[in-house]
Amino acid sequence: MTPFLMGLAMKSRRLRWTALAIVAVLGVAAYVAAITTPRVGEPAVLPSPASEKLWSFGFVGDTQLGEGIVEKVFARLEKAQVDFVLHLGDIVDDASSDKQWDEVLAAVRQHHIRLRPVVGNHDRLAGTSDRGETRFREFFPDLPDTFYRFSHRGLTFLMLNSERSFLPGSAQARFLAAELAVLRETAVVCLHRPVFTCGHRDLANQFLRRLWLHASFVETPVRLVLSGHHHYYDRTKPLDGISYVVSGGGSRKLYPPETADGATAAFHAGINHYGLVDVYADRLAVRVLDLQGREIDAFDIPLAL
């Protein structure tokens, strides 16, 4: 083959590899776009429950700087006779402060609350490699890790640590994949940093959580994802059948309003709040209440039957 023909052949091979690379990149981009831009549905409209509620649980997020707020929230949840309370992270403002931990956990004990927490970014010891495990081992020694699973009366709760990696192959990703593979009953997922919210804070990491987490929840019995971190209340419409709630209402430091988008079902800023969930045979009936017990949002999550 002449040098000219050899040059043409090499150029042709380079063009083919370039074309294949472009196709591969476009394919990956299309997949990522599909996962991170889910199908937006409409909230469920269900008839009145056919039977009495079976039991209740509560949730609250971001009790950091929550003096005068935390006690009121736990008092109302105690009065509601919840089986337990999901804490959505940032229990304290400064993880190194024993005083802050003692104040929150004293209110937990005073109101006979069974707390099931996730790690928030303020629950880590700053300036160290700690990802929440130091204080969680000290104050929640019954928990197996900073990410864990528990079941209660027909529901599964997957409690994740958004301060640790969700990258495929990581310890937490392997844990989550194993749990989702055997999941048969309706599941509620809790983590501190949001997966979906109309607020743009922490947006780059939101994108990664959508890619690694939302993709794994689709077509499983996960129906509700609760998070905190943003000190407001935000609920999405069902995204691929999953409702995402941001509830950072336990702090006196509240965030200003954000602009709702096409996926927003409800948004409230500037209101301290908590969640109360009544469990029925066919649904989770969720109410979000302010410190006076006034309802700021209510919605139903159909159970995966």
pLDDT of 18 over the 60 cut: no
pLDDT confidence tier of residue 27, bands split at 50, 70 and 90: very low
pLDDT confidence tier of residue 15, bands split at 50, 70 and 90: low
300, β-bridge pairs: 285
pLDDT of 5 over the 80 cut: no
The mean of the pLDDT values for the chain is: 91
Q: What is the pLDDT of residue 200?
A: 86
Q: What is the pLDDT of residue 31?
A: 45
- Which of 18-27, 80-89, 144-153, 179-188 shows the lowest per-residue confidence on average (mean pLDDT)? 18-27
Q: What is the pLDDT of residue 8?
A: 55
Q: What is the pLDDT of residue 36?
A: 62
% of the chain with per-residue pLDDT over 70: 88
- Which of 3-17, 100-114, 203-217 shows the lowest per-residue confidence on average (mean pLDDT)? 3-17
Mean pLDDT of 14-31: 42
Per-residue pLDDT tens digits for 144-200: 999 999 999 999 999 999 999 999 999 999 999 999 999 999 999 999 999 999 998
pLDDT of 239 over the 70 cut: yes
User: Between residues 249 and 2, which one has the greater pLDDT?
Assistant: 249
Q: What is the 3-state secondary structure (H, E, C) of the chain?
A: CCHHHHHHHHHHHHHHHHHHHHHHHHHHHHHHHHHHCCCECCCCCCCCCCCCCCEEEEEECCCCCCCCCHHHHHHHHHHCCCCCEEECCCCCCCCCCHHHHHHHHHHHHHCCCCEEECCCHHHCCCCCCCCCHHHHHHHCCCCCCCCEEEEECCEEEEECCCCCCCCCCCHHHHHHHHHHHCCCCCEEEECCCCCCCCCCCCHHHHHHHHHHHHHHHCCCCEEEEEECCCCCEEEECCECCEEEEEECCCCCCCCCCCCCCCCEEEEECCCCEEEEEEECCCEEEEEEEECCCCEEEEEEEECCC
Provide the token pair at 180: 């989702």
Q: What is the pLDDT of residue 201?
A: 85
Mean pLDDT of 241-266: 97
Mean pLDDT of 10-26: 48
